[in-house]
Structure formats: structure tokens, C-alpha cells
A and B are shown apart, each in its own frame.
Chain A
Amino acid sequence: MEEKKLIKQCKRGSREAFNELVLRYQDQVVNFSYSMLSNREDAYDAAQEIFIKVYKNIGTFEEKSSFVTWLYKICSNVCKDLLRKRQVRSNVISIDTGDYDEDRMDIEDTRYTPEGALEQSEAQKRVRMALSLIKAEYREIITYCDIQQKSYEEAAAILQCPVGTVKSRLNRARMALKQRLEDQDSESV
């Protein structure tokens, strides 16, 4: 069924239409959440939260933007909220580098390390680890553009910023991720 029709039916309270939408976007939402949270269980929970919010607020969706854009805005907000809650519960060690969280940073906690994650290679594990340690906004832009391979325009629509901002932010994010990997390599050595 056409997405617009599904959305209309969701607005009317059709659970079936809602489930259909969930089925179409659940993987993307879970993957985004996993990239942001670096933990499978947290990713599942976040995805549930995201779709619950979608169900509750579908009536406010004015369809001025695409449903995907609206969905990812919710994803971003939910994941960032969970990250803030995680920071409150964890001991944070600030690192005096510009690429890391300015105030606090998640410590490497076994709970949140990508151990047992899907990464099959060391390289993937290292990248996942480094990704979890950079700023959330860098993580987000990398997830949009590199992991989920969205266009600059799509990312700009989600982030509600110009395309140039997306490019510059992505450059910084990549460099930050690169730097973080080099630091891990130097520490491991």
C-alpha cells in the first residue's frame, strides 16, 4: 500500500496500517539506534520507544516533509535522550580534545562496548568502538551519510540545516573518528 494511504489510516487509528509502517522502517530505526547507542538491547528499546512515539504523534504529522524525515527526527531525539540518561548514570571522563564530548564522555563500559556485536572483523569492532566515543552529533551525521548512506539533502532535511553544514559537519565527524582510531591504535600499542 502506498505510504500516504498507510499514514492516513494510521491517523484514523488503524493498527494494521501502523504495523505496516513499522515493518517498513523497523530495521532502519533499529540500526540507527544501534549506531547511536552502540548496544543491541538499547537499540531495540530505543526503537520501541521511537515507534511508540510515532504511534502517539502520527496525528500531528502534517506531511509537510517526508515520513522518513519525520521518523528520523524522532529517532534522533529519542537516542539523544537515552544518551543523556546514560551519561547521568555512568562515570564520565572528559578528555581534553575537541573531538570528544566537551563536558563528559562515556567511559568504556562492558555494557556499552560493542563486544558481542555484529562486527565480524577487528576493524569493524574498532570503528564501532571509536564511533561510540565521539560526539553524538558526529555519530549521527556519520550514521546518516556513511552508515545509512543518505544523501546530503536528506541529512540536511533531518537535521534541518543547510547542505553545506552537513558536508562540513561530516568532514569533522570523519576526522574525529579517524583521530579516535589512531589514538586507540597508539594506546593498544
Chain B
Amino acid sequence: MDCENFHKKLADYENLSVSERAEFLEHTETCGSCAEEWASYNKLLETVRSLPELKAPDDFISKLNERIDKEKPARERPPGVWTYLKHHGYRYSAAAACVMLAVVIGVNSTEFVDKMRGSDSEVPVGITNLSTESPQDAENAKAPDKTSEPTSTPSASAAPSLRPTTRPASSGSGSVSNTTVPRATQKPVATAIPSNKSNKSTPSTPTLSPRVTAEPIQEEYNAPEANNMTGSNNQPAVTPESHTFSEGTEEAPQSTEASSGTSVPEVTPSNNDTMVASADTSDEDEIAVNSMMDPSLYSLPEANDNASGGGSGGGSGYSRSTETSNSIEVSSANAERAREIISEYSIASDGDCYSVSSDRMEEFLEAMNNAGIEYDQNCVEMDSDTVTFRLIIS
């Protein structure tokens, strides 16, 4: 080791390896100046390390506390928490923001789901009946405004079971679900059976059973005349005593089938007269009431007397003594075609009972002939604007 290296390693002596230290010390033994320098350096270090320590005065703490008290008052609360939040609050604010966002999303999603559920209940009732009803009926169901509100009073029902069925959109009556019930009589309708004042006859056939219904079923009618009857609960002057010739239960399937493609016309105003007429008679009222209560008590005046044999041909002079007495019988092979033709001319129907305008009765029968349908008609021409008959399938 030379003197230059010696001076370089002088201050770093403590970090020298054993061999380097040996070499270093060996040089001091051979070099006088380096030896003095080494001695001087060691003395310096010894002096520095021996410098006396200055200690704090006895009143150091007291003075310190005085100065602290003189300055701004100390933190009222422990600095740890707030200072920590001040310096690290960003961590928690981000987490809080995420939590709030999740809560908002959750609340909104809940409301959205609730709204969706709520909207499901608002599905129009009529929509569910489309599968079993005619498109026309579906339109009727979708247009409740055109029909009268169902009421609980029988008086709200019009004449002979010929009511447009209404399916309120928001009805909760449960009528939506029952699509198997005959269209016209999902709920029995109390309809008035047009009858003359003088008609007091027992029903020839048990086909027309008067029923009192709480809610009238209204359907749109093809006939313009029926428009007067639509859209209101007040079926034309229907009295509580009026009857319907709604089908019996045994007729229900047929009525469903028959009415599937037809619109049920409403009772014409002429029926009102009849019904009014019938209502005017207290005796008939009584009969009507009794009939409503007990079908077996129902009597149809002149039902048999006025029944005419009626040939197969398009007989003229059809009159209607009573609805129950009028009938048209066709073979089962022609039943479907007959119903189609009937639906074209009928203005009201209830099961297999149909009402045709008297003016068009001849046309109807002619259409039946043209279609090759053999029929036996037993209609009694009445002084009324409509002829109501029952379609009998033999």
C-alpha cells in the first residue's frame, strides 16, 4: 500500500477487511507521515466521540408546556381519528360511494320489478279470452267502453240473453280465467223474455230457463239497432222481472260453439216494448218473477197455440208467439252450416236461441234453402220486429 491509497482508506478504516487493515497498519509502520496522520485521525475521532452531551434543563418540560399552551389550543378531540381520516379519508369515501351506488341501484331495481309486476295485473281481461272467443268478441272485450258496465242488478241485463259480453280490462272478477264457460253466459244474465201480455203458456220445451244474473253480459250486435243498447248498463228497459232464455247447462257446449263465430246482438228497442209491455202487467210480472225463481213455473202463453207446423219450405208468415215455442230443427249434418247462416242474420243469440229480425226472416230461410239445408221450422209469426227461435239439432 502506498501513501495515496492510505489516505483514501484512512476514513474508511472501520469498513476495511482484515487483510486490508493489516496492510494499512503495515504501511503506518513504514511511513512516518502516514503514521502521524493515522494518529491524528484517531485522536480526532476520539475527541468527537467524547464531546460532552448537552442535557436539557430542568425546566425544559415546563417551558415546553407553557409554549404549547400559549399557542393554538390543542385539538379538542384526539387527533388520531380525524387526522387519520383527513389523510386517509379518500379510501373510505371511495368505498362509501360504491356502497351508495349499490343501494341506489338496488332500490331502483326493486321499484322497476314492482312496476313490472304491477303492469302484469293490468293485462286486459279480454286478451285471455281470445283463444275461445271469436275475434269479434275479442274486440268487444278490448273495448269495454262500448259496452255497459256489469252491474249487480238483474235490471241491468237486457232482453233475451242477447248481451254483448264485456270484459272489463281491469276486472278482477275473475271472469277472465274462465274461458270454458259459454261466451254468452259466463255469468248468467238476467234477460227479459219478450212476451205478450196475454201470453201465458207453459214452456213447450225446457230449453229456456230463466236465470237471474248479477252482471249482464253485453256483446256488440251486428244490427245497427243494437247500438242503442250498447254501452250502458241500462239494458233497454229491462226490468228485474224479465227473463232470459239462456241456455241450460246441457246446452252450454252448443251455445259456446254456436256463438263462437257470431256476435251477439243486443236486444232491439222493439224488445223493450215487449218487455215493457210484459212489465206492465202485474200478473206477468209475477209469473216472470216466479219463473226466474223456478223454471218449472215458467209459462209461455200461446206457446203451443201459435206453433205452426211450418213446412220445410220458406214458409211465409212466421210469427212468434213466444220464444220458447219457435224453433228450427236441422239435421246434425247441417248444424254447423245452419249456425253459420243463422249468425249472419241473427241479431241476438243465447246458446241455441237466436233472434232474427222479422224483416229478414224470409231471407234467412231462403238462405237456408239455398244452402241445401233441410229444416223444420216452427215459428209463429208475432207482431213483433224480431223472431226468436231455438235451433234444434236432430
Contacts and interface: CB of A to CB of B under 8 A. Distances in A.
Given A48-B67, A52-B71, A59-B80, A30 B54 contact: yes
Interface in B197-245: none
A44 B58 CA distance: 11
A89 to B, nearest CB: 22
A11 B78 contact: yes
Contacts of B57: 44
A19 B47 contact: no
A48 B65 contact: no
Contact of A127 (B10, B47, B60, B74): B47
Given A44-B57, A146-B45, A172 B11 contact: yes
Contacts of B18: none
Given A59-B84, A181-B44, A30 B50 contact: no
Contacts of A47: 56, 60
Contacts of B91: none
Chain A interface, >50% SS class: helix
A40 B141 CA distance: 105
A27 B54 CA distance: 7
A31 B55 contact: yes
A175 B10 CA distance: 9
A10 B373 CA distance: 112
Contacts of A118: 51-52, 54
B49 A149 contact: yes
A133 B12 CA distance: 22
Contact of A44 (B47, B60, B61, B68): B60
B316 interface: no
A52 B67 contact: yes
A147 interface: yes
A69 B299 CA distance: 117
A126 to B, nearest CB: 8
Interface string A39-50: 010011001100
A183 B329 CA distance: 146
B68 A55 contact: yes
B112 interface: no
Interface in B83-107: 83-84, 87
A178 B7 CA distance: 12
A120 B51 CA distance: 9
Given A13-B78, A120-B52, A172-B11, A22 B64 contact: yes
B261 to A, nearest CB: 87
B64 A171 contact: no
B48 interface: yes
Interface string B70-83: 01001101111011
Given A47-B56, A48-B63, A177-B44, A147 B15 contact: no
B45 A174 contact: yes
A142 interface: yes
Contact of A119 (B52, B56, B60): B52
Contact of A124 (B50, B74, B79): B50
Contacts of A30: 54-56, 60
7 contacts: A27-B53, A124-B50, A127-B48, A146-B48, A149-B49, A167-B12, A178-B40
Interface of A: 8, 11-13, 15, 19, 22-23, 26-27, 29-31, 34-35, 40, 43-44, 47-48, 51-52, 55, 58-60, 118-121, 123-124, 127-128, 131, 142, 146-147, 149, 167, 170-172, 174-175, 177-178, 181-182
Given A44-B60, A124-B52, A127-B48, 9 more contacts: A13-B74, A13-B78, A51-B64, A55-B68, A118-B54, A120-B52, A171-B11, A174-B41, A178-B11
